[in-house]
């Protein structure tokens, strides 16, 4: 625990830290590769409902803002970085709306990915958005502490990297731990940051420990809550009066015969 107590250089200027811009680009490439893989393999299509396109625009838009902000923070102009930062805060509202819309609609239609238990899916995905918002707002609040600011932004993005990895990993083969595997793969980003800190200063910045704690909550908490009465009640409330109500909340649907990622709607 000595690494937590050691003093850290709080005056380190973010614009001199090209590392964070590179890490942001790496994270964006994982997301783009995942969604492009889905498209090329026929798992997704441009004929999807409008809400899916809204979701894609919101999250890919954030990814673009994230990379651009990381670049501006390290290369300038910093005035533009600050202005775009407030646009980014507002953009998070779009992400929350788009994410919840797609999650609820998929569950109500009975089309949640077959390698997730619907109740687990209902809790885990909103939780990832909540953690993302929490880390990102903390980064904004600590924008004058550049050492915390940059690392907390990486932490926020880490919380929503699961869908990117989930489109690259063989998810059907990872049942019943597909979500845990996709979310757990995101640990590579804070680990890279920790390794960089150790190499440069011999100590790990406390922000990375918060990031690891957030990932631990994301991986463990949905599995604890989903099979409880709370999970049952939440699932019934969300799916009431829809085809999804006939889908067992804690069962994995059979894989679709056409190899798609989502099961067919219940008849």
List, for residues 138-180, the tens digit of each pLDDT value: 999 999 898 999 999 999 999 999 999 999 999 999 999 999 9
Residue 41 has a pLDDT of: 79
Q: Confirm whether 267 is domain-assigned.
A: no
Q: Confirm whether 262 is domain-assigned.
A: no
Instruction: Identify the H or E element spanning 34.
Output: helix 18-40
What gap in Å lies between CA 192 and CA 94, rounded to an integer? Answer: 30
Number of structural domains found in the chain: 1
**Which residues span the domain enclosing 115?**
12-239
Q: Confirm whether 7 is domain-assigned.
A: no
Q: Confirm whether 199 is domain-assigned.
A: yes
Residue 260 has a pLDDT of: 53
Q: What are the C-alpha distances in Å from 154 to residues 9, 24, 186, 208?
A: 18, 7, 11, 9
**Residue 76 backbone zone (phi > 0: left; psi -120 to 50: alpha; other: beta):** left
Residues in the chain with pLDDT values less than 70: 1-17, 44-47, 258-267
Q: Confirm whether 51 is domain-assigned.
A: yes
Q: Confirm whether 19 is domain-assigned.
A: yes
Residue 116 has a pLDDT of: 96
Give the single-character DSSP code of 58: H
Sign (positive or negative) of CA dihedral 174, 176, 178, 180: negative
Give the single-character DSSP code of 43: S
What gap in Å lies between CA 70 and CA 88, rounded to an integer? Answer: 12
Q: Confirm whether 226 is domain-assigned.
A: yes
């Amino acid at each position: 625990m000595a690494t937590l107590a050691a003093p850290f250089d709080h005056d380190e200027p973010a614009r001199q830290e090209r590392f964070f811009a590179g890490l942001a680009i790496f994270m964006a490439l994982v997301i783009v590769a995942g969604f492009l893989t889905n498209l090329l393999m026929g798992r997704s299509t441009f004929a999807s409902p409008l809400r899916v396109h809204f979701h894609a625009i919101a999250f890919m838009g954030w990814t673009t803002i994230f990379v651009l902000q990381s670049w501006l923070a390290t290369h300038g102009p910093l005035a533009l970085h600050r202005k775009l930062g407030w646009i980014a805060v507002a953009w998070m509202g779009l992400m929350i709306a788009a994410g919840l819309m797609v999650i609820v609609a998929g569950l109500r239609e009975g089309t949640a990915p077959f390698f997730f238990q619907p109740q687990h899916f209902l809790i885990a995905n909103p939780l990832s958005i909540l953690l993302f918002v929490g880390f990102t707002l903390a980064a904004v609040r600590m924008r004058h502490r550049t050492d915390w600011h940059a690392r907390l932004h990486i932490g926020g993005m880490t919380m929503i990297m699961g869908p990117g990895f989930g489109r690259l990993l063989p998810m059907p083969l990872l049942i019943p731990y597909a979500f845990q595997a996709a979310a757990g793969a995101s640990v590579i980003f804070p680990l890279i940051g920790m390794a960089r800190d150790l190499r440069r200063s011999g100590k790990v910045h406390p922000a990375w420990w918060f990031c690891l704690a957030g990932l631990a909550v994301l991986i463990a908490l949905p599995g604890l809550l989903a099979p409880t009465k709370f999970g049952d009640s939440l699932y019934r409330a969300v799916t009431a009066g829809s085809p999804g109500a006939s889908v067992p909340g804690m069962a994995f649907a059979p894989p679709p015969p056409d190899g798609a990622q989502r099961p067919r709607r219940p008849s």
